A and B are shown apart, each in its own frame.
Chain A
Amino acid sequence: MELFPSDAVFTPDVSWVALWPMVVMALGGLLLLTISSLGKGRIPRPFYALWAVLTSVGSFITAIPLWAQVHGWEDAVLWYDPEVDPTGPFSTVGGVIAADGFSVFLTMLIAVSMVAVVLVIEAYLDREQDRFPEMFALTMFAALGGMVMVSANDLIVLLLGLETLSVAAYVLAAMDLRRVQSQEAGFKYFVLGAFSSAFFLYGIAFIYGATGGTGLVHITDFLAANVLLGSSGLMLLLGLGLLIVGFAFKVALVPFHSWSPDVYDGTPSPLVTFMSSVVKVAAFAGMLRVLVMAFESAGADWRPVIQGLAVLSLVGGALGAIVQSNVKRLLAYSSISHAGFILLGVEAASDVGTAAVVIYLTAYSALVIGSFTVVTLVARSGDRLHTLTDYQGLGRTSPLVAGLFTFFLLAQAGVPFTAGFYAKFSAVIAAVDAGTAWLAAVAMLSAVIAAYLYLRLVVTMWFVDPAAETDTSHVGVPAAAGIALAGCAAAVLWIGIFPNTLTDWAERSVPAVVQPAPPNLVESGDEADADVEFEVGPDGMPGMPGPMPGEMDFGELDLESLGIDPAELEAMLEGGDLGFDVDVEFEDPPG
């Protein structure tokens, strides 16, 4: 017996305040494409850079009221949707987009990183005499994909965010039309990315089959209500394993890392800042939300896997970097080792761990954007000077650039009073807190090995005489790149010296399990003749989207426009054959 007619449409509840950061980013990218196709090269490229920066800033600004809202600072909310509970995390559009501290903070981080990335790209394009603004549009769409990933509360949405991000990143990697290495990097990235997406998808398919849904909240509820036994449990674990493999490819964890040095090497240097900051932030955020939030109760099953990956990445990244003679490849290995540290926070599967991941991602973004900006500048026109030889004597020829690079490298090594130290410290604390002190010990050991490679680079810059083939021309800092470098350096220092603010924010950035809001019924007419309120059991009810336990107030409905005969409804109510409790107050009682 169904209460609603078969053609009633339930539309999801939409809270725009949670969607604005993404909408701004998407519209900015689309408008940029439109303007550039209409302008046909008459508009100077700096205009597009400014546009991209303003879009990112706009995206950041629209996230501020959301940050206030998810923390329940009612007075601070500039505009809020009275439909949603203003005092805490919520989810919207049928529960597929989560708005909690975690998603909002990382959305803001992506927006800020985007500003720096766009500035570096602008400096690069200016040097290379490139007129085309598509690079900005593609990074903006990729950032949109990243923002979706950090807020995705549903595996399908997570997947599509990931694909938007990845497809844009493949193109960006292959974007230097002049160098075949760039296309090779793009193709390598593409093949392994598509391969990992396929594993990811296959994993989602199994999880869907085992739990009957793709919503993360649904999976959490399922795991809470069911003991993982039999083939259903096995299938869920198989799916989870495939999902972890997919994530491991995306964030380049040993042993799924082999693409990363090649791709970093071939990709245009300014875009590596993007690939190593925004892409990693989004992928780790997705991983954390899936593993720590949705699969929290299956922690005993996935934590050992993550611990193994962490050990391999920490050690493999540090050791792999030692033999490299190319600075970009060296930094690629160093980012593998950083990924190992971030896994320490994921593996902890606790609020402390989540905060450590957020702190690490923030510090890491500032560090890699700064480092690769220097790499972009030193590579000079043509983006080709990347070997250690090219860095010999840099301290003498260009002390400013060399000094900044030294600062970023030392911070990556974890020197105290820098962001790198504090981030590593938080990760280690999280691991110890979760009872895996041995992992913390491995991490600290690997940090010592990794320090060697950073110091080698520093020594090369300051204490080695330039070789005959070294380009000893002065490395200038264009204004755009200078702003990005100054911002990154300031962030690194600030996090290192005053870590309390970031810690406070990070501790607020915890993903929350929020049940979706009830959907709206489209055909609610004007002439309401009944006030309908349901109490729905755990199974939901027939004809309704989503299991939504709890009370649900449909408000006043026009029964006749819905095709419900009030008398029939009355009879159904009395017969008690609806399968759920319903409370209907008729304004004009039938009969």
Chain B
Amino acid sequence: MLLNQFLLLGAVLFCIGVYGVLVRRNGVMVLMSIELILNAVNINLVAFGTHLQQATGQAFALFVIPIAAAEVAVGLAIVLMIYRNRRSIDVDSLDEMKG
């Protein structure tokens, strides 16, 4: 079974997702990037599970999917609200990014 290759793929996918979250400005695109990150995690979990010969990894990955679904539902609802009030979902027009 392949393990290292899967871990590397997961790491690359994770980084692509992180890049997307940090760089994309469209709120919906940020959501999609988060999906990529969660998929990277799932790839890792399944690869580890197979390597360890446990079904735990797959069961764990099965919990990541509802987490992703819940986050997307709430995230999209917030995006929708902002768009109604603002007519824009450009994350960087979200005012005081003073920190």
Contact = CB atoms under 8 A, between A and B. Distances in A.
Interface of A: 156, 159-160, 163, 167, 170-171, 174, 177, 180-181, 183-184, 186-188, 190-191, 194-195, 197-198, 201-202, 204-206, 208-209, 212-214, 257-258, 261-262, 265
B41 A187 contact: no
Given A163-B67, A195-B21, A180 B57 contact: no
Given A167-B70, A171-B74, A191-B21, A201 B81 contact: no
Given A214-B60, A262-B98, A198 B74 contact: no
Contact of A183 (B10, B54, B85, B96): B85
Nearest to A171: B74
Nearest to B57: A208
B99 A258 contact: yes
Given A187-B79, A201-B41, A167 B74 contact: yes
B75 A184 contact: no
A214 B81 contact: no
A53 B21 CA distance: 39
What are the 4 tightest A-B residue pairs by CB atom distance, in nearest-first order? A258-B99, A209-B48, A180-B85, A205-B44
A195 B86 contact: no
A156 B82 CA distance: 32
A205 B52 CA distance: 13
Residue in B38, B63, B71, B78 whose Cβ sees the most chain A Cβ within 10 Å: B78
A329 B46 CA distance: 42
A177 B91 contact: no
Contact of B37 (A160, A198, A258): A198
B55 to A, nearest CB: 11
Given A191-B75, A201-B41, A208-B60, 4 more contacts: A190-B71, A191-B34, A202-B37, A209-B51
Contacts of B37: 195, 198, 202
Contact of B78 (A186, A209, A212): A186
Given A186-B78, A187-B79, A190-B74, A180 B98 contact: no
A205 B85 contact: no
Given A177-B81, A180-B82, A261-B99, A156 B74 contact: no
A335 to B, nearest CB: 15
Contact of B94 (A167, A188, A202): A188
Contacts of B79: 187
Nearest to A260: B99
A93 B30 CA distance: 37
A163 B74 CA distance: 12
Contacts of B56: 208, 213-214
A195 B3 CA distance: 25
B98 A194 contact: no
Contacts of A160: 63, 67
A213 B49 CA distance: 10
B16 interface: no
A187 B91 CA distance: 9
Contacts of A159: 63, 67
A205 B70 contact: no
A212 B52 contact: yes
Given A156-B60, A194-B75, A184 B82 contact: yes
Contact of B44 (A167, A183, A195, A202): A202
A187 B67 CA distance: 17
Interface of B: 7, 10, 14, 17-18, 21, 27, 30, 34, 37-38, 40-41, 44-45, 47-48, 51-52, 54, 56-57, 60, 63-64, 67, 70-71, 74-75, 77-79, 81-82, 85-86, 91, 94-99
B27 A187 contact: yes
Contact of A187 (B64, B78, B99): B78
A208 to B, nearest CB: 6
B7 to A, nearest CB: 8
A170 B41 contact: no
Contacts of A197: 67, 71
Contacts of B57: 208
Contact of B63 (A156, A186, A209): A156
Residue in B14, B27, B74 whose Cβ sees the most chain A Cβ within 10 Å: B74
Contact of A262 (B27, B30, B78, B96): B96
Nearest to A329: B98
A170 B95 contact: no
B44 A206 contact: yes
Nearest to A178: B85
A195 B20 CA distance: 11
20 contacts: A167-B70, A170-B74, A170-B78, A171-B77, A177-B81, A180-B82, A180-B85, A187-B78, A188-B94, A190-B75, A194-B34, A194-B75, A195-B34, A195-B37, A198-B17, A202-B41, A205-B45, A209-B44, A212-B52, A261-B98
A90 to B, nearest CB: 23
B82 to A, nearest CB: 5
A257 B44 CA distance: 28
A163 B65 CA distance: 12
A213 B52 CA distance: 10
A258 B18 CA distance: 17
A194 B71 contact: yes
Contacts of B64: 201
Residue in A171, A202, A261 whose Cβ sees the most chain B Cβ within 10 Å: A202
A205 to B, nearest CB: 4
A202 B14 contact: yes
B18 to A, nearest CB: 8
Residue in B21, B27, B54, B95 whose Cβ sees the most chain A Cβ within 10 Å: B95
Nearest to A213: B56
Given A194-B71, A261-B98, A174 B78 contact: yes
Nearest to A203: B41
A182 to B, nearest CB: 9
Contact of B48 (A177, A205, A262): A205
Nearest to B61: A205
Contacts of B95: 181, 184
B17 A190 contact: no
B3 to A, nearest CB: 9
Contact of B82 (A187, A194, A209): A187
Contacts of B52: 209, 212
A159 B67 CA distance: 10
